[in-house]
């Protein structure tokens, strides 16, 4: 669909410099007992990619990140992200019908993955008068393939995946908390942006009595809570529709300062957490236990 296509163009640096977009893909694999993610960020003057493997048998996550320029070509109604150079090869393509294929090769790292959608997608469109913004995401994707990181091979045979594309006029300063977790029976996603014209959503993917899955929007006024003592271990996400306890399993921290001494252009902190979540959500005035869910939480703040 056209919501998967690249939206940001190089000439937007003059006509629409606040236009940004990103594609995030994450997967929990029970057999390997790990979570991995990769995402592309595209702004008018540059692109970047980051791949992270959260292996609880290691002290720290494996990360590979690089700034680059993705190929400008774009197939209609397709995800179409490509880059080939002496240092790196990337190909990420497909659509919501046939699924997506991701291949990446770089120094000390390679990945080859097949991602198949199994459930309906979710969309949201916000702030058309001020900060036009769009979101497309899929949960409960089936993920298969192989990752080789620092000589360790991970075989993904039945991964539970997430995939999204977000794009629009993003404010210069952004601050958000985001959670996307799931198990075989339920998927839960919540975002709260902080600011004058913030985007927010909270929804759950559940099966009805007919066996079909559907997205149900919950109250968007949520609270991500932690104390100075619990930030590295326990959080809570609460609202009138959900009560969730978030256990931090591992974290990947990143900081970007451009220029380094006086970061007047980019001054950004972005933390990605591998998390386990338990709790309950309220659907049609009935509280439902979520069971144990795994996935990602982000804390993002700064200027970019």
Domains 1-170 and 172-304 share a fold: yes
- pLDDT tier at 197, thresholds 50, 70, 90: low
- pLDDT tier at 149, thresholds 50, 70, 90: very high
The pLDDT of residue 129 is above 80: no
Pair 265, 258: CB distance under 8 Å: yes
Q: Are strands 242-258 and 234-238 parallel, antiparallel or unpaired?
A: antiparallel
- pLDDT tier at 199, thresholds 50, 70, 90: confident
Q: 302: which DSSP letter?
A: E
Structure tokens at 271: 């933390």
User: What SS3 state is found at 85?
Assistant: coil
- Tell me the average pLDDT across 9-34: 94
Task: Report pLDDT digits (tens) over 215-262.
Answer: 999 999 999 999 988 999 999 999 999 999 999 999 999 998 888 887
The continuous run of DSSP H or E covering 63 comes out as: strand 62-68
Task: Report pLDDT digits (tens) over 43-67.
Answer: 999 999 999 999 999 999 999 999 9
- pLDDT tier at 263, thresholds 50, 70, 90: confident
**Which pLDDT does position 56 carry in this prediction?**
96
What are the residue ranges spanned by the domains of the chain? 1-170, 172-304
Burial 69-81 (b: 16+ CB within 10 A, else e): ebeeebeeebbbb
Pair 119, 160: CB distance under 8 Å: no
Q: How many CB atoms lie within 10 A of CB 35?
A: 27
Structure tokens at 303: 């200027």
- The arrangement of secondary structure in 172-304, i.e. its CATH architecture, is Beta Barrel (2.40)
Of the candidates 203, 231, 202, the residue with the CA atom closest to the CA atom of residue 299: 231
**Which pLDDT does position 64 carry in this prediction?**
97
User: What SS3 state is found at 21?
Assistant: strand
Residue labelled with tokens 């339920």: 186
- pLDDT tier at 211, thresholds 50, 70, 90: confident
Of the listed ranges 74-88, 118-132, 244-258, 276-290, the one predicted with least confidence? 118-132
**Which pLDDT does position 247 carry in this prediction?**
99
Residue labelled with tokens 């997967």: 27
Q: How far is CA 295 from the centre of its chain?
A: 10
The larger pLDDT score, comparing residue 170 to residue 82, is at: 82
Of the candidates 299, 290, 196, 296, the residue with the CA atom closest to the CA atom of residue 241: 290
The pTM for the full model equals: 0.96
For a pLDDT cut of 70, what percent of the chain falls above it? Answer: 98
CATH 2.60.120.10 fits 1-170, yes or no: no
For a pLDDT cut of 90, what percent of the chain falls above it? Answer: 84
């Amino acid at each position: 669909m056209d919501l998967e296509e690249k939206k940001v163009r190089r000439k937007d640096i003059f006509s629409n410099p606040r236009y940004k977009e990103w594609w995030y893909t994450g997967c929990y694999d029970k057999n390997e007992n790990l979570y991995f993610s990769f995402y592309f960020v595209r702004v008018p003057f540059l692109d970047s990619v980051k791949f992270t493997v959260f292996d609880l048998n290691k002290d720290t996550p494996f990360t590979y990140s690089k700034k680059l320029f993705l190929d400008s070509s774009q197939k209609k109604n397709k995800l179409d992200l490509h880059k080939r150079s002496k240092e790196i090869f990337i190909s990420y393509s497909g659509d919501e019908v046939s699924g997506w294929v991701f291949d990446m090769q770089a120094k000390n790292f390679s990945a080859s993955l097949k991602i198949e959608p199994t459930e309906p997608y979710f969309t949201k469109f916000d702030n058309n008068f001020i900060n036009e913004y769009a979101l497309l995401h899929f949960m409960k994707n089936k993920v298969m393939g192989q990752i080789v990181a620092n000589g360790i091979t991970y075989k993904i045979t039945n991964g539970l995946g997430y995939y999204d594309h977000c794009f629009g006029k993003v404010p210069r300063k952004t601050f958000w908390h985001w959670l996307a977790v799931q198990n075989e029976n339920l998927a839960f996603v919540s975002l709260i942006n902080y600011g004058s014209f913030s985007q927010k959503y909270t929804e759950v993917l559940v099966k009805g009595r007919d066996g079909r899955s559907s997205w149900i929007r919950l109250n968007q006024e949520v609270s991500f809570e932690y104390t100075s003592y619990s930030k590295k271990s326990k959080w809570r996400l609460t609202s009138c529709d959900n009560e969730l306890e978030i256990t931090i399993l591992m974290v990947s921290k990143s900081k970007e300062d451009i220029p380094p001494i006086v970061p007047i252009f980019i001054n950004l902190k972005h933390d990605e957490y591998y998390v386990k979540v338990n709790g309950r959500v309220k659907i049609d005035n009935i509280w439902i236990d979520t069971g144990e869910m795994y996935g990602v939480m982000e804390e993002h703040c700064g200027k970019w």
